[in-house]
Amino acid sequence: MNILITGAGGFIGGSLVRYFHNKGFSIRAVDKKPLPLWCQLTTGVESLCLDVSEWENCRRVCEGVEEVYNLAADMGGIGFIEKNRIECLRSILINTNMLEAAYRAGVGRYFYSSSACVYNTDLQKDPNCRALKETDAYPALSERGYGWEKLLSEMFCQEYWAERGMKPFIARFHNAYGALGSWNDGREKAPAAICRKVIEAKHSGSGQIEIWGDGTQTRSYMYIDDCTYGIDSIVHCDDLIATPINLGSHELISVDDLVTLAEEFAGLNLHRVYNLNAPNGVAGRNSDNKMVRRILGWEPNTPLRVGLKKTYDWIEQQYLAQKQENKLT
């Protein structure tokens, strides 16, 4: 089978390329970033540098493929999406052009990577929040910019099924993390950012860490291996055609406790400085996994302690390598 993966230069997209390549599929990987800036490159994969917000590029990359996995978007951690709402909203061009190109090319299955940012923000004002189920996206009150773009793109996918019979599949990601992702470029998410800050404090001897917000904000975090397996399972389950579903861990943790976990890996205790003016997003968000357990008989299950330790160790390797390179130059 020939598979197209857009956003392949990103963390999840690159991991999905490797996942399907290891299963023996023929992959066309696409991202607008130059190849040296991709998070990972998989040998034996057709890798193209193209901007799929443009129609002609979408038409070109969809030719001859049987499944499309659209993960292309301008996004990042909370610091990025709160400060770049226009760029996040412009990602609607990617999905609208990709859907039409995939339909015209006769693509059988189309995956859209949505986000838990689509959920009603009134339900996320308490760190001790209840887990969000799929129906909680309506009445709609998504996060500005990124969340609204994701929700509208979900609707586009559903209409291509209703009117044209193309099979779309939609997963609402809850904070994927792991090695090979962004950790120091301004697009990193909380697990990577906190690991990096603890590592910096450890090797500099500063003895302190800056935390965005008051530390009480809660989230659940999904390890990347669970994410790629979950995408594959969702796309190949006909019960989920045009049906948004949560893809995330239900293991809720506060920012303060996430810092404590990273401190344990580093073997130190840091003085915490809370930056209350920094972006910090909603107060609490967790994934209700009843639907994914019922339909797939599975849910993301890598313990946070296990996945975060692997992530911490990888980031520390990158940090030390970069530090050594800076010394040499």
24 domain residue, yes or no: yes
295 domain residue, yes or no: no
Residue 78 confidence (pLDDT): 85
Q: Based on the fold, state whether residues 85 and 117 are members of the same structural domain.
A: yes
Q: Residue 206's domain is classified under what CATH number?
A: 3.90.25.10
Residue 155 confidence (pLDDT): 98
193 vs 283: CA distance, rounded Å: 18
Residue 103 confidence (pLDDT): 98
Q: Based on the fold, state whether residues 57 and 40 are members of the same structural domain.
A: yes
Q: Based on the fold, state whether residues 103 and 235 are members of the same structural domain.
A: yes
Closest CA to 298 of 235, 224, 240, 247: 247
224 vs 241: CA distance, rounded Å: 23
Q: What is the pLDDT of residues 150-206, one digit of tens each?
A: 999 999 999 999 999 999 999 999 999 999 999 999 889 999 999 999 999 999 999
314 domain residue, yes or no: yes
Residue 280 confidence (pLDDT): 86
Q: Based on the fold, state whether residues 226 and 215 are members of the same structural domain.
A: no
Residue 76 confidence (pLDDT): 83
User: How many distinct structural domains can be found in the chain?
Assistant: 2
185 domain residue, yes or no: no
Residues with pLDDT less than 50, the chain: none
CB 47 within 8 A of CB 35: yes
Residue 79 confidence (pLDDT): 86
Find the domain containing 101 and state its range: 2-177+221-247
Q: Please identify every residue annotated as catalytic.
A: 146
139 vs 31: CA distance, rounded Å: 34
Residue 327 confidence (pLDDT): 83
184 domain residue, yes or no: no
Residue 278 confidence (pLDDT): 93
